[in-house]
Structure 1
Amino acid sequence: MCDEKQKQRINLKFLVKLKKTLTECYKLLQEAYGGNSLSRARIFEWYKRFIEGRESTEDDQRPGRPVTVSTPETVTKINQIVRADRRMIAEAVNSDKETVRKILHEELHMTKVCAKLVPKNLTPDQKFLRQQVCSDFLEKLKEDLGLMKNIITCDETWIFQYDVEIKRQSMHWKTPESPRIKKARMSKLKFKAMLIVFFDINGIVMTEWVPEGQTVNQIYYLSVLATLRERDNAPAHNALSVKQYLAGKRTPVLEHAPYSPDLAPCDFFLFPKIKSALKGTRFESMEAVKQKTAELLKALAKEDFQHCFDQWKKRMERRVARGGEYIEGEHLNVE
């Protein structure tokens, strides 16, 4: 007497004889059996068998009950399977699920993790460039021990009238009976402004609020370049006229690799500090935003900036050692 799965295999064999495609077979079986239908993987497996000429719809013989002990052969096989296809491991190696779980966690030391969010999936050339830029910079530091004291770094960022708190910032204690606090999606902003900041190892050198409607292009950027010594490679910063201006002022320029907010002091240090403190506050005017931002910048100690520059050097050393890769656990600006 046929069981439910064999009946489906018989129907699948009939559909193959009618020269139905795999997708058509899957949809028809789903339509006929609903939630009890064979899985897509099983349908694919049996479809392939029937296409290759298999006649029997009987399930293959299995060598007894699943193995409940771990063997070196099983560990090796699971390691190969999980790297190629994480599904159906237990069935493929004829082991029970608990044995597979123990092998994955205790012997192969594997864990299931979410994908790491990064600014960009770097190409080999981009990784090499990041590594090379960091290596060149570290060489300059060896040649000139006082170089860090002469660097002024700069970047721009949007400051919003209201920036919603991240979920971690709005965490609270609750009893089993109390309801969770609700968090609305970000409402439409009334205003925002762009802030340009220059700072060095000792503190803030200069801040500039970009006038409303003004584009930060090379012409505008030239007007705020007087104290700039190191800049990132955004288009406005990298324009020919900016390079000519810096050359004319005999200002040495340190190269910054593209897609590298993790190597820009403003992105991994200054802006996160300011924006984290501003999140959750709804300002009534642009002047209030500017005043609060100025207070936060003024509150940063000299030691904060020195620590930032120390971390900058360490980040570059790690990028050289890791072939230009982003490093998990370090702040990455992906906005």
Structure 2
Amino acid sequence: MPEKLEQRYCIKFCVKLGDSQVETIRKIQQAFADEAMSTTQIKEWYNRFKDGRTSVESEARSGRPSTSRNEIVIDQLRTLVMQDRRITIRELADEVGISIGSVHSIMKEDLGFRRISAKFVPKLLTIEQKQLRLEIAQDMLETVNSDPSFLNTVITGDESWVYGYDPETKLQSSQWKHPTSPRPKKARQVRSNVKVMLTVFFDSSGVVHHEYAPHGTTITKKYYQEVLRRLRDAVRRKRPDLWAAGNWQLHHDNAPAHSSHLIEFLGQTQHTCASSGSLLSRHGSV
């Protein structure tokens, strides 16, 4: 394992300045982030320099060199990881017959692997669905290229739960502090249990219409039909140019309440893209 001499020099420097162990740990972790030495290592070297040690080099070790870190073992670990990306360090150590510490070193330094959590996405798409989305996107791009004002005629709508309050994110709660001032604290919060369904429609100019569903209301096709009637009135009042031109279009997803045949009262033609999860309806002045 390569020695982190740079960090040891920094620890020695902090000791010379009279920084406490806690301050030294904080500075090292702040300066080197993910590459910082462990808290235990920082404490160990802090105490060594505090006791008068001057060298930052590791002391020579006696005994037979380790044979667990060789090309054969590295290849075995690489093969196991490629076969099962979720295999644990302990399982790798048991499978190959080496220590957990050796597996850690090989995975990070020889193979360059990092264990990270899977990224959350709304939905995993199949190859066919991805291809269909690509085709639809290309079709929309061609439409925009042929008619630059096309997007100005589109009104997008959707529903979303709105909570009484949301806890601050880690970034939102950050603040500037002096090195000698204490770290700010906040109590753990959970998302509010009070929530209401918000339906909103907007276009390139801003919000056209929004409303909150009454408590306990289920978004059904009949309810959504009334919402669209109110949207139609809002377009007439707030977007008179679109209403007069009769070429505005509604874009929303293909939720059952949105794609019901009962909704066809809004226009004469509909183009449904079920696989891509969207529905684009052309409307005139109804």
TM-score (norm 1): 0.46
For 1:275-301, what per-residue CA distance to the aligned partner results, in whole angstroms no more than 9, with x for missing partners? xxxxxxxxxxxxxxxxxxxxxxxxxxx
Aligned match of 1:205 in 204, 208, 231?
208
Q: Matched residue of 2:80: which SS?
A: helix
For 1:165-209, what per-residue CA distance to the aligned partner results, in whole angstroms no more than 9, with x for missing partners? 3454345567786673212445653xx433221112232222233
Cα gap change, 1:74/1:162 in structure 2, threshold over 3 Å: closer, same or farther?
A: closer
Q: How does 1:177-188 map to 2 (within 5 A)?
A: 180-186=185-191, 188=193
Q: How does 1:143-292 map to 2 (within 5 A)?
A: 143-145=143-145, 146=147, 147-171=150-174, 180-186=185-191, 188-189=193-194, 192-225=195-228, 226=232, 229-242=250-263, 244-248=264-268, 250=269, 252-253=270-271, 255=273, 257=275
Using the aligned pairs only, state the percent identity. Answer: 30
Cα gap change, 1:156/1:89 in structure 2, threshold over 3 Å: closer, same or farther?
A: closer
> In structure 1, how many angstroms separate the alpha carbons of the residues matched to 2:80 and 2:201?
53
> In structure 1, how many angstroms separate the alpha carbons of the residues matched to 2:92 and 2:216?
59
AA at the equivalent of 1:240: H
Structure 1 unaligned regions, length at least 5: 1-63, 265-335
**Is the contact between residue 130 and residue 257 of structure 1 (CA under 8 Å) also seen in structure 2?**
no
Hey, what does 2:32 align to over in structure 1?
Answer: none
Worse-superposed segment, 214-223 or 90-99: 90-99
Hey, what does 1:100 align to over in structure 2?
Answer: 103
Greater relative contact order (Cα < 8 A, sep 6+): 1
AA at the equivalent of 1:203: G
> In structure 2, how many angstroms separate the alpha carbons of the residues matched to 1:213 and 1:69?
62
For 1:15-35, what per-residue CA distance to the aligned partner results, in whole angstroms no more than 9, with x for missing partners? xxxxxxxxxxxxxxxxxxxxx
AA at the equivalent of 1:76: D
> In structure 1, how many angstroms separate the alpha carbons of the residues matched to 2:74 and 2:68?
13
**Is the contact between residue 199 and residue 213 of structure 2 (CA under 8 Å) also seen in structure 1?**
yes
**Is the contact between residue 199 and residue 210 of structure 2 (CA under 8 Å) also seen in structure 1?**
yes
RMSD of equivalent CA atoms: 3.6
The structure in which a higher percent of residues are strand is 2
**Is the contact between residue 67 and residue 95 of structure 1 (CA under 8 Å) also seen in structure 2?**
no
Hey, what does 2:78 align to over in structure 1?
Answer: 79
Cα gap change, 1:253/1:69 in structure 2, threshold over 3 Å: closer, same or farther?
A: same
> In structure 2, how many angstroms separate the alpha carbons of the residues matched to 1:144 and 1:123?
26
Aligned length: 189
**Is the contact between residue 195 and residue 210 of structure 1 (CA under 8 Å) also seen in structure 2?**
yes
Residue 111 (str. 1) matches residue 120 (str. 2): no
Worse-superposed segment, 204-213 or 107-116: 204-213
Distance apart, 1:112 and its partner CA? 0.8
> In structure 2, how many angstroms separate the alpha carbons of the residues matched to 1:241 and 1:212?
24
Cα gap change, 1:224/1:178 in structure 2, threshold over 3 Å: closer, same or farther?
A: closer
AA at the equivalent of 2:80: I
> In structure 1, how many angstroms separate the alpha carbons of the residues matched to 2:137 and 2:117?
33
**Is the contact between residue 157 and residue 199 of structure 2 (CA under 8 Å) also seen in structure 1?**
yes
For 1:92-133, what per-residue CA distance to the aligned partner results, in whole angstroms no more than 9, with x for missing partners? 44555555333312332210112333334x363xx5224413
**Is the contact between residue 68 and residue 98 of structure 2 (CA under 8 Å) also seen in structure 1?**
yes
AA at the equivalent of 1:237: H
